[in-house]
Each structure stands twice: as C-alpha cells, then as structure tokens.
Amino acid sequence: MAKVSELGYLGIGVSDLAGWKRLATTVFGMQVVSGDTPGTAYLRIDQNHHRVELNSRDSDDLDFAGWEVEDAGELSAIARQLELAGVKVRAGSRDDAAQRRVVDLIKCVDPSGIATEIFYGHPVDPRPYQPSRAGSGFKTAGQGLGHLLVHSPDIDASVGFYRDILGFRVSDFTTVSTPNGPLRLAFLHCNSRHHSIAFIGAPGPKRLNHIMFESNALMDVGIGRDACLAHDIPIAIDLGCHMNDQMVSFYMGCPSGFALEYGWGARVIDDATWRVEHYDSVDSIWGHPQLKTLATGDAPA
Ligand code: FE
C-alpha cells in the first residue's frame, strides 16, 4: 500500500495578511517570503521554500493541505487507491505544481471538506533559512510541518480516508463524556510525529481548530509566549503538557479566528511497537487550563 510520508504544506485564506506576517515573525520567528502576487506570502520555517502559503481572501480558514509521498510511483499508487475507494481525483496542472514548487501533485477532497493535495518533490530552497529572530528552529525533519486539528462532521469517514486510503496509522482515540453526549477525537500519524492530523467530532466555527508548530527548544516556546504578552496577542490556552503526545505547548489566537499551538518535546512513535491508545478525557498532564473550551468544540481563540 502506498503511504503519505509527511504534512508538506498548508494554504490558508487570510483577511489580514499584515497581521499574519506580524504574528509569524514576532511569536514564531518565521521567515516571510514574498509571494508570486501582492496578496500572497509564504512562511518559511526550514530548508523548504515554504511550509505555509497565505492568500488574501476572506475565508480565514484552511484552503488546502499538501501531503508528501516519496516519488512518482507512490503518487500514481495513491491516486489508484483513492479511485478504487470511490474518491474523485484530479491531476494538478503545471501551474499548480509551479505555484506549490513541487514536481507533481494530485487533488481530491477529504470527508471533512478539506481540499487535499498529494505531491512529490518537496520544494527545497538551498539558501539558508533566515529566521526573523534567533532561535533553535523547528522540528520538521522526517516529521513534516507539524499537525492540524480539524472539525469533522463524520469522524469515522475521516479516519477511514486517512487510515485506509492514504496509509496513516491511528495513534489514539479519545472519547469524552459531555452534557451533550460523547465527544470523539481521533489522532493519526504518518511518520514518527505522534499525530500529523487529528479530528474532533463536533462542529466548529472554522474547519480548522488549530495548527501546531514544534520548536527544537523549550526556550523558544517561552520566548514566543512572552512575545504574545508583549504584543497583545491573546493566549487561548496557556502552557501545559498534553496527555497523548506529551507535548509542552500553549495556544494563541490568530488573525483568522482559529488557534496556533507552539510546542516542544512531544514523544515520538515507533510503529514497530506502537499499539492504538484510548483516552477518556482531554485533560492535560499539567497546565492547559482552558483546554475544556477546545473539548466543547468552541473556538479556543
Ligand atoms: Fe495540537
């Protein structure tokens, strides 16, 4: 079975491009790379040309997610797997590939409505990554951009799509009792990162609940938190350590109304020994005092 290897890139529609650039540089120390048009900008966090494409439009939500496969053979095999499962697949155009700066890509839509791209040939820029503030950089090697938590109207369909068609493995399921009945979450991995995508089975104001970027050092996360306080960027969920991936992190609001998680130190998965885990709460090991808001499906930002 062909498998996705990592979360390569994300596209986000933003109504406040200047606000996004300010947050990305002040809090995360990311490099802003000029886009192909005035309404576009790229965020760079490693050797890739970019990991996030910001496009000026009022959607203020996830526009597309790009998942990497090894080579042309894997791309064809993934396309076949999707078609066999009844998913409509389109070939990316030359223009699409040029804009994403990849060799080739295919396009489909996941069960929660995310425009999903599968590509090979990740966009390397050999010039050094130039962070906007000194730091230890981001943990992306072999693990991809970070992770997404997405609101899914049909969590079983979402899990089936990523696990049975794209080759992800389940890290854990979480079931929480709430006054409105059981709330389910699912966390899936495609490499040693504990999860690259997760689903919350409750509607949200946005498709996207949050995006997580992982730092190589706890110090950078603390400096980023100080930057939020200094620049009046709301801290949606303050520092804590998650139960499942054991990441130390905090969440901030972003100009598009979802949240960004800045984390460090997550445990990694070895598929040779991993067994699916189950949790009956989203409580953190310590901290994350506002996490209950996330569990109810409300926007944490
Ligand atoms: Fe997260």
Task: Tell me whether residue 213 is in a domain.
Answer: yes
Q: What is the CA(247)–ligand 1 centre distance, in A?
A: 9
Q: What is the CA(213)–ligand 1 centre distance, in A?
A: 9
Q: What is the CA(137)–ligand 1 centre distance, in A?
A: 18
> What's the pLDDT at 280?
93
Same domain, 190 and 96: no
pLDDT bucket at 36, cuts 50 / 70 / 90:
confident
CATH number at residue 179: 3.10.180.10
Same domain, 276 and 202: yes
In this prediction, residues 86-109 reach a mean pLDDT of: 97
Task: Tell me whether residue 97 is in a domain.
Answer: yes
Q: What is the CA(286)–ligand 1 centre distance, in A?
A: 15
Same domain, 109 and 152: no
Task: Tell me whether residue 168 is in a domain.
Answer: yes
Q: How many angstroms separate the first and last alpha carbons of the chain? A: 39
> What's the pLDDT at 293?
62
Q: What is the CA(47)–ligand 1 centre distance, in A?
A: 23
Same domain, 185 and 106: no
Same domain, 153 and 109: no
Same domain, 98 and 216: no
On whether the CB atoms of residues 200 and 159 are closer than 8 A, the answer is no
d(CA 187, CA 139): 19
Q: What is the CA(104)–ligand 1 centre distance, in A?
A: 29
On whether the CB atoms of residues 11 and 20 are closer than 8 A, the answer is no
Residue 179 has pLDDT above 90, yes or no: no
Q: What is the CA(75)–ligand 1 centre distance, in A?
A: 28
Burial degree of 19 (CB within 10 A; 0-12, 13-18, 19+): middle
Q: What is the CA(245)–ligand 1 centre distance, in A?
A: 9
Reported as a single tens digit per residue, the pLDDT across 250-262 is 999 999 999 999 9
Reported as a single tens digit per residue, the pLDDT across 46-78 is 999 999 999 999 999 999 999 999 999 999 999
Q: What is the CA(263)–ligand 1 centre distance, in A?
A: 8
> What's the pLDDT at 295?
54
> What's the pLDDT at 86?
98
What DSSP letter does each residue of 148-176 carry, written as one string? EEEE-S-HHHHHHIIIIIS--EEEEEEEE
Q: Which two tokens stand for residue 164?
A: 């049975």
In this prediction, residues 15-31 reach a mean pLDDT of: 98
Task: Indicate whether this model's pTM tops 0.85.
Answer: yes
Q: Domain containing 58: what range? A: 6-120
Q: What is the CA(196)–ligand 1 centre distance, in A?
A: 9
Task: Tell me whether residue 134 is in a domain.
Answer: no
Q: What residues are paired with 278 via a beta bridge?
A: 173
In this prediction, residues 200-225 reach a mean pLDDT of: 96
Phi, psi (rounded to 5 degrees) for 95:
-65, -40
In this prediction, residues 19-27 reach a mean pLDDT of: 98
Task: Tell me whether residue 137 is in a domain.
Answer: no
pLDDT bucket at 300, cuts 50 / 70 / 90:
very low
Q: What is the CA(230)–ligand 1 centre distance, in A?
A: 23
Same domain, 54 and 179: no
- Of 120, 135, 170, the residue that ends a domain is 120
> What's the pLDDT at 294?
53
Number of H helices, E strands in the chain: 6, 18
In this prediction, residues 262-283 reach a mean pLDDT of: 96
Q: What is the CA(74)–ligand 1 centre distance, in A?
A: 28
Q: What is the CA(200)–ligand 1 centre distance, in A?
A: 11
Residue 296 has pLDDT above 60, yes or no: no
Please tell me the total count of domains within the chain: 2
Q: What is the CA(185)–ligand 1 centre distance, in A?
A: 12
Q: What is the CA(99)–ligand 1 centre distance, in A?
A: 28
d(CA 199, CA 20): 24
